[in-house]
């Protein structure tokens, strides 16, 4: 069906161009839409309405002329069964059965590459998680990780080279508080004791760090290793050990979550290399700064910010966005033409000032950094519920639910699927009880069970397994047509989701495919006596399993071949985004 859609789109573009040229107007881009109701057809053309004003004609007259032109093209004669004009000028297409059936062979031929595009040559960096090494990863970091990794996988399906980067603050006030908290534990203090630091971290993990430091253990993280001296008075050694310890803990959590990084970037390196100082100097030399009230300001209002921003405070320290500008300048210099930062919505205020700083540098020094660089995928925090009650605390962290807690209570697959199942900027409730249900109420179970169910049928099939030789013309049942149309949507869905940085679109699509399959399962028998029909249906099932597998992989979720079933088979459902 990919070939059919391509040929139809080319024919549509030619017909639109001919109509527009005759009136001296620009031709709209050829595009098909999905009708809101399946009864209206398989595809829809809406170009007549926007062309009406330019052509100064009634939309239905334009639609009539367009239908006549399309019916004369070889592509529409081959792939379209009927063209119908509806409403003010909609054109509904009913595809020929062969167009729908073709997708089965296309999926089977492409396999894991179905839906993927050839190399684009683009270098894209996705920076995500970027948690300070001051405690365990919490559920917010989990949503960040699921989003960042899924966005990376989406972009890779479009042929982009993607680097996953983790940026963390290994200096500053929070790290100093971590060291002081660990030192207090080493000296026998605990939360609530006299002398316990006011800004200390109170979780039990601090006691674990102190115990291992006292035991002079060595810890290994992905980017560092450190051996404790056991000296409770050596605050710098305590700091280095605590950071390495928590980096190691974060590495373990991320590996358990199926997330890996290509590069780690230390905030301290921006200062040690002189990048922050040189960036400030370049901004000053650009003439976009001024002194006021003993502070150094950047004229960010000239670049869309609501007010100018302080760069250097009265005490001589820099505000947070200054190293951010230096950091993103390094991303551009490393050749990443697109950069995506996955951050909580509480970082919304930094977007304009970071972009402003980069544009000042780009304009002054002819760097060519595009407007809107970097891109942001902002997400809201989540609420965790169990037994109808909010879960607020972790025994280990003390003040929040950790990512490790969530994985242990449910599963990696459930956590990854759930955390990308809604738009990132929408509030989300993670229902632990729902994530454990073996029923169609649980979206990840519903999808995975569809894949396992197909594998079970394929394993029971004893006929000829050369599915490429199957007679696909036998796939004429309504439920088969609906399923094949949905499989054909996969490449375009991936392209849209990647462009919009929207992995939730993949989650919705998976539920729609599963719904179509479960409807098909309830409507037709697969292991029928007719060997040709059985083989054709096995080919369609194999193609469906492949698309489910491919889409689940984009979300970092497994596609099991077998699953325990504790509830009744899921009924067909209508899934809407």
CATH number at residue 524: 1.10.730.10
pLDDT-wise least confident of 48-52, 79-83, 563-567: 563-567
In degrees, rounded to 5, the angle at the alpha carbon of residue 332 between the alpha carbons of residues 156 and 151 is 25
Tell me, what CATH number does 163's domain have? 3.40.50.620
Strands 382-386 and 428-431: parallel
Which structural domain, as residue segments, surrounds residue 183?
173-256
pLDDT tens sequence across 165-204: 999 888 778 899 999 999 999 999 999 999 999 889 988 8
Q: Report if residue 567 sits inside a domain.
A: yes
Q: Report if residue 110 sits inside a domain.
A: no
Domain boundary among 328, 350, 378: 378
Residue 396 has pLDDT above 60, yes or no: no
448 in the same domain as 482: yes
Q: Report if residue 386 sits inside a domain.
A: no
**Number of domains forming the structure of the chain:** 4
Q: For residue 160, what pLDDT is reported?
A: 97
Query: Which of the pair, 36 or 367, is modelled with greater confidence?
Result: 367
188 in the same domain as 245: yes
Provide, rounded to the nearest whole percent, the portion of the chain with pLDDT above 70. 97
pTM above 0.85, yes or no: yes
Residue 568 has pLDDT above 50, yes or no: no
pLDDT tens sequence across 524-564: 999 999 999 999 999 999 999 999 999 999 999 999 999 87
Q: How confident is the model at residue 576 (pLDDT cuts 50, 70, 90)?
A: very low
Q: Report if residue 420 sits inside a domain.
A: no
Q: Report if residue 409 sits inside a domain.
A: no
- 521: which 2 tokens? 């399962």
Question: Which residues have a Cβ under 8 Å from the Cβ of 537 and sit 6 or more positions away?
Answer: 475, 480, 524, 526, 528
Q: For residue 30, what pLDDT is reported?
A: 83
56 in the same domain as 91: yes
Terminus-to-terminus CA distance in the chain, angstroms? 24
Instruction: Evaluate whether 377 touches 186 at the Cβ level (below 8 Å).
Output: no
369 in the same domain as 236: no
Q: Residue 113, CB half-sphere, CA atoms under 13 Å: how many? A: 7
pLDDT tens sequence across 470-501: 999 999 999 999 999 999 999 999 999 999 99
Domain boundary among 336, 352, 378: 378
189 in the same domain as 164: no
Question: Which residues have a Cβ under 8 Å from the Cβ of 365 and sit 6 or more positions away?
Answer: 282, 286
25 in the same domain as 14: yes
Q: Report if residue 373 sits inside a domain.
A: yes
Q: What totals of helices (H) and strands (E) does the chain contain, helices first?
A: 21, 16
Provide, rounded to the nearest whole percent, the portion of the chain with pLDDT above 90. 74
Q: For residue 567, what pLDDT is reported?
A: 39
Measuring CA to CA, which residue among 345, 379, 334, 380 is closest to residue 125? 334
Q: How confident is the model at residue 394 (pLDDT cuts 50, 70, 90)?
A: low
pLDDT-wise least confident of 183-192, 260-269, 367-376, 565-574: 565-574
292 in the same domain as 145: yes
Q: How confident is the model at residue 41 (pLDDT cuts 50, 70, 90)?
A: confident
Tell me, what CATH number does 48's domain have? 3.30.1360.70
Q: Report if residue 104 sits inside a domain.
A: no
Domain boundary among 57, 80, 95: 95
287 in the same domain as 248: no
Q: Name the region of 57 (left: φ>0; alpha: ψ -120 to 50; beta: rest).
A: beta
Residue with tokens 């249906």: 537
Q: For residue 433, what pLDDT is reported?
A: 96
Q: How confident is the model at residue 75 (pLDDT cuts 50, 70, 90)?
A: very high
Instruction: Evaluate whether 201 touches 135 at the Cβ level (below 8 Å).
Output: yes
545 in the same domain as 454: yes
Q: Chain-wide mean pLDDT for the chain?
A: 91
Q: How confident is the model at residue 577 (pLDDT cuts 50, 70, 90)?
A: very low
Residue 51 and residue 118: Cα distance in Å, rounded? 34
Going edge to edge, which strands form the sheet with 382-386? Answer: 389-390, 382-386, 428-431
295 in the same domain as 249: no
Residue 6 has pLDDT above 50, yes or no: yes
CA of 471: how far to CAs of 20, 32, 454, 474, in Å?
42, 28, 20, 6
238 in the same domain as 157: no
Q: Report if residue 412 sits inside a domain.
A: no
Ranges of beta strands (E only) in 309-348 are: 309-312, 338-344
180 in the same domain as 251: yes
Helix (H) or strand (E) holding 431: strand 428-431
Measuring CA to CA, which residue among 106, 229, 245, 120 is closest to residue 178? 245
Beta pairing partners, 490: none
> DSSP secondary structure string, 368-429?
-PPTTPSEEEEE--EEEEETTEE----TTTSSS-BHHHHHHHS-HHHHHHHHTSS-TTS-EE
């Amino acid at each position: 069906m990919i070939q059919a859609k391509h040929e139809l789109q080319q024919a549509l573009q030619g017909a639109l161009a001919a109509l527009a040229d005759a009136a001296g107007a620009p031709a709209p881009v050829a595009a098909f839409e999905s009708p809101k109701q399946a009864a209206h057809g398989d595809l829809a053309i809406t170009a007549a309405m926007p062309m009406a004003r330019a052509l100064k004609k009634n939309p239905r007259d334009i639609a009539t002329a367009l239908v006549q032109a399309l019916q004369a093209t070889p592509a529409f004669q081959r792939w379209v069964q009927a063209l119908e004009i509806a409403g003010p000028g909609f054109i509904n297409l009913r595809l020929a059965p062969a167009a729908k059936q073709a997708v089965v062979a296309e999926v089977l031929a492409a396999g894991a590459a179905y839906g993927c595009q050839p190399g684009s040559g683009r270098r894209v960096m996705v920076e995500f998680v970027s948690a300070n090494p001051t405690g365990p990863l919490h559920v917010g970091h989990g949503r960040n990780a699921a989003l960042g990794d899924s966005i990376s996988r989406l972009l890779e399906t479009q042929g982009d080279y993607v680097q996953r980067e983790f940026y963390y603050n290994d200096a500053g006030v929070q790290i100093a508080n971590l060291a002081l908290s660990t030192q207090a534990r080493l000296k026998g203090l605990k939360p609530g004791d006299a002398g316990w630091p006011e800004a200390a971290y109170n979780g039990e993990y601090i006691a674990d760090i102190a115990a291992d430091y006292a035991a002079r253990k060595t810890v290994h993280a992905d980017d560092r290793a450190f051996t404790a001296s056991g000296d409770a008075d050596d605050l710098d050694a305590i700091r280095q050990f605590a950071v390495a310890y928590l980096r190691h803990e974060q590495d373990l959590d991320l590996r358990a979550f199926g997330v890996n990084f290509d590069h780690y970037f230390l905030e301290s390196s921006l200062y040690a290399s002189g990048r922050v100082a040189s960036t400030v100097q370049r901004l000053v030399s650009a003439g976009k700064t001024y002194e006021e009230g003993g502070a150094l300001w950047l004229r960010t209002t000239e670049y869309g910010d609501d007010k100018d921003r302080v760069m250097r405070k009265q005490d001589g320290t820099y505000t947070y966005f200054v190293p951010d500008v230096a950091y993103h300048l390094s991303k551009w210099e490393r050749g990443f033409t697109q950069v995506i930062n996955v951050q909580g919505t509480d970082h919304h205020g930094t977007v304009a000032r970071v972009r402003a700083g980069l544009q000042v540098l780009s304009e002054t020094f002819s760097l060519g950094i595009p407007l809107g660089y970097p891109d942001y995928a902002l997400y809201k925090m989540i609420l965790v519920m169990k037994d109808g009650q909010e879960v607020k605390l972790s025994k280990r962290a003390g003040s929040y639910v950790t990512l490790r807690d969530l994985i242990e209570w449910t599963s990696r697959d459930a956590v990854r699927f759930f955390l990308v199942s809604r738009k990132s900027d929408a509030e989300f409730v993670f229902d632990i009880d729902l994530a454990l249900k073996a029923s169609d109420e649980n979206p990840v179970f519903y999808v995975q069970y569809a894949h396992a169910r197909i594998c079970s049928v394929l394993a029971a099939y004893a006929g000829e397994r050369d599915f490429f030789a199957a007679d696909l013309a036998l796939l004429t049942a309504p439920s088969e047509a609906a399923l094949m149309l949905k499989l054909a949507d996969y490449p375009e869905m991936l392209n849209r989701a990647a462009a919009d940085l929207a992995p939730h679109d993949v989650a919705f699509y998976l539920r729609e495919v599963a719904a179509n399959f479960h409807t098909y399962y309830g409507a037709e028998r697969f292991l029928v006596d007719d060997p040709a029909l059985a083989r054709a249906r096995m080919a369609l099932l194999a193609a469906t399993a492949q698309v489910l597998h491919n889409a689940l992989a984009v979300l970092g979720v497994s596609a099991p071949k077998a699953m325990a079933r504790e509830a009744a088979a899921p009924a067909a459902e209508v899934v809407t985004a």
